[in-house]
Amino acid sequence: MSDGSMQATVSPNLPQHVCTVERIEVLARAGFSFQCEGESLYFFVKEDLKDFDGDHHDIEIPWRETLQVMRDEANHSELIVEGAYTHTKMRPGEFGGFVYYFTKHGVQESNTRSMLESFAAENRLLFIEAEERNRNAARYLADYVNRGILKPEIFAAETVNHAHRTLQQLMMRLFWACIKAWARAAKNRQFDMRNQATVSLCAEIVDKVGEDQHFPYV
């Protein structure tokens, strides 16, 4: 059998004049202890932070409301409760940290599981956004050459003579990916007279140098 606990700290310290006996008793029921540090009290949970009364499980302990009132009377812009779930037998996904953030606007709370889910969702969104930006760039280039104003020599000179050399390397990654894609199109007969010269030349290039070319980020 394994045992768990929920420890926490409160910061910053609270001045003694807001720490009435009644409020300290409410916090104590929720598991808070305190120690005096000068003219202020440092609150912490050493064993287990509780939301409900031990004898009356249907009675919620208003420790959040109590800390919010104390924060307001102390004129603190914020009050933070940081905690951790600990266990004698740790298992992935079941334990971690949590935080309560008290301000004049209310109380916000989160935990590591919610944060991980948020990070994952954000990463998925960034991936989707990156894919769409690449598609838009391809469409923009196709639209640019379609306007009949393309002058390859000017484009090449501007790129080679003025673009940052690291960016030139990254551009070559882009061009090389196109070359390999056109070479595969030649192999799969995915072309007609309109782009035959392109795919044929790209197929010859890849046949001679191979697909495994590297353009490091420097």
Tens-digit pLDDT profile for residues 8-34: 999 999 999 999 999 999 999 999 999
Give the CA distances from residue 185 to residues 9, 33, 60, 169, 182, in Å, rounded to whole numbers and listed in that order. Answer: 62, 71, 68, 24, 5
Domain count, the chain: 2
Residues 22 and 104 in one domain: yes
Are 62 and 52 in contact by the 8 Å Cβ rule? The answer is no
Supply the pLDDT for residue 1: 42
| Domain membership of residue 11 as a residue range | 4-111
Is 61 inside a domain boundary? yes
Q: Sign of torsion, CA 54 19 79 71? A: positive
Query: Is 78 inside any structural domain?
Result: yes
Q: Is the pLDDT of residue 181 over 90?
A: yes
pLDDT at 131: 84
pTM of the predicted model as reported, rounded to 2 decimal places: 0.55
What is the structure's pLDDT at 54? Answer: 63
Q: Residue 188 is which amino acid? A: N
For residues 31 and 49, give the distance between their C-alpha atoms in angstroms, rounded to a whole number.
5
